Amino acid sequence: MYNLIPDLSVVEVSSFVASPTAGLYLAQMGAEVIRVDQIGGGQDFRRWPVTANNDSLSWENLNRAKQSLALDLTRPEGRELLVALAQRVGNLVTNLPARGFLAHDKLTAGRSDMISVRVMGWPDGTVALDYTANAAVGYPGLTGPLGDDAPVNHVMPAWDLLTGAYAAFAMLAAVRRREATGLGGEVRLPLTDIAMGTVANMGRVAEVLYTGAERERIGNAVFGTIGRDFVTRDGVRLMLVAINERQWAGLVQALDIGDAIAAIEGATGARFTGDDGARFTHRASIFAVIERAIGALDHAELTARLDANGVVHGRYQSMVEAVRDPRLLGDNPMFADGVTNPSGFAYPAAGAFATLPQDQRLPPAPAPRNGQHSEAVLAERLGLDSGAIARLVDAGVVGVGQPSSLRA
């Protein structure tokens, strides 16, 4: 974590991945993020993976460094408190519907410079999830094994994560405009727009309209260059990519396949030096040469050769292997031990992904217990006295993460 934006406060009303990710990234850079949930936890509070006690490891990692206010949002009194808090703070991140009780026009009735960043499904308000957005934009037709036309979903919710990052960026941009002009505003971020906009930025929209055809499925090969998975003599599978001329020359040198590559050029009339497209066009022949060369080497020898010639490669690891890899976790300053997690399970926690070499990296903060900061938020932000808060707790409108200090 870093203390870059300590003067920014944000109310987050969200669930699942995209919207909580926005709040997480803001909190990791020093913002005060007040997450508001239903008493007892929202619909993502027990989202898998969970511990034996049914504590969500997903929830406690997506909500690190946040404060928690628990309200009964099924009751008018709870919703009124949330609206008042959002207006007082002035910055809201949410994935609640655009026309609900947190509609931007309702919030601006009490604060004209209100900023609302709203994660949506489709632009018209129709519900969509990462998985359905992904299905809509066509990527599952490109992933999967050769010779099989069935769509294959990716398991990482990429569009959710991109949307969360974009929402954090959009919040900072909107705040910057308000500082300069006094204007607030609503930012709507449909998952489908993030997904299709990313497809367009990668050239895929232009490609399809230009060719009028679907791109062929190529398995684990890298489109437009030489890259694929290969297996060494001792059974290690690795990903290898030669994405520029230096790496291509290094690959040929490392594997001592210059004569074989020249033979392919002689047979096809192609010239591979300086032409990534020609190499990709003739990838089947090139891959066969690479496959034979790698299959004759043990992984240790291959690694030494590739490293000596500047070729990018990476061994496939299981998730269990990844968390035991000191480069990724054990020796990585992004992670820290000693965080007291709500689940009670102790493990290295991730902080901010960015590294600021000139700044001190602060240790990751734990996620809150549901309602842990309810009393403090209501007192400090809404000016409620201890008696008023105690009555709200007794009435079941406000939840606290432990026995209330006001009722001792």
Please tell me whether residue 70 adopts helix, strand or coil conformation.
strand
Tokens of 37: 């949930």
Please tell me whether residue 322 adopts helix, strand or coil conformation.
helix
For residues 16 and 228, give the distance between their C-alpha atoms in angstroms, rounded to a whole number: 34
Catalytic annotation, pick one of 124, 148, 160, 256: 160
3-state percent breakdown (helix, strand, coil) of the chain, nearest 5: 40, 15, 45
For residues 259 and 303, give the distance between their C-alpha atoms in angstroms, rounded to a whole number: 22
Tokens of 349: 């926690």
Q: Which residue, among 196, 193, 189, has the nearest Cα to 137 in the 3D structure? A: 196
For residues 293 and 310, give the distance between their C-alpha atoms in angstroms, rounded to a whole number: 17
For residues 104 and 110, give the distance between their C-alpha atoms in angstroms, rounded to a whole number: 10
What's the residue count for the chain? 408
Please check whether residue 230 is in contact with residue 240, taking contact to mean a CB–CB distance below 8 angstroms. Answer: yes
Strand partners, 36: 69
For residues 15 and 91, give the distance between their C-alpha atoms in angstroms, rounded to a whole number: 17
Q: Please confirm, yes or no, whether 276 is among the known catalytic residues.
A: no
At residue 172, what is the residue type? Answer: L
Strands 185-190 and 115-120: parallel
Q: What are phi and psi of 391, to 5 degrees?
A: -65, -40
Instruction: Spell out the long-range contacts of 300-308 with Cβ–Cβ below 8 A and sequence spacing 24 or more.
Output: 302/232, 302/238, 305/254, 305/255, 306/240, 306/250, 306/251, 306/254, 308/254
Q: Which residue, among 171, 125, 124, 120, has the nearest Cα to 16 in the 3D structure? A: 120
Q: Which residue, among 286, 157, 134, 138, has the nearest Cα to 217 in the 3D structure? A: 138
Residues designated as active site: 160
